Homo-oligomer: A and B are copies of this chain.
């Protein structure tokens, strides 16, 4: 998606070989028109699949997910993150380890909003090692729902997330695939 790649080139900041900061338009400040274009692109790639719900994770997944939900005409559920969480009725729970923060957190979705009748599109802002995506998939599987695929805004293709997800049979559609951040430069695949 060229609009997104241009935005990454012009406003993304390479903090290290591993870290791309996009808080000017995605992670902190949000460009609503770009989110609409991203939502449209996800809808184009996943339309006609019988998707009934989008599942994402707070906070940065919400904007692209809601725009995709608007295009597809379906609800969005965002998983909540907790530092700790006592078990509650009706909550599906999974764990996710953050490499960036070196902490484990708990994520949860209400079982009332996701059922075995649902066919789900997972949307997230980043795909790196795939830990967050795997935790979302775990929640969806606990609900007995099926998964159409994963829509990712920015994929760090030099990490193992895509390989891991594809090896388990999941379709991954990433709108920008970053091959390398070496030397402070963003290099894309394709």
Contact = CB atoms under 8 A, between A and B. Distances in A.
Given A29-B75, A30-B76, A59-B59, A35 B113 contact: no
Provide the main secondary structure of the chain A interface. mixed
B70 A33 contact: yes
Interface in A50-65: 58-59, 62-63
B77 A29 contact: yes
A24 interface: yes
Interface of A: 23-25, 28-33, 35-36, 58-59, 62-63, 66-67, 69-70, 73-78, 80, 83, 109-110, 112-113
Nearest to A36: B70
A57 B80 CA distance: 14
Contact of A69 (B30, B70, B74): B30
Nearest to A39: B32
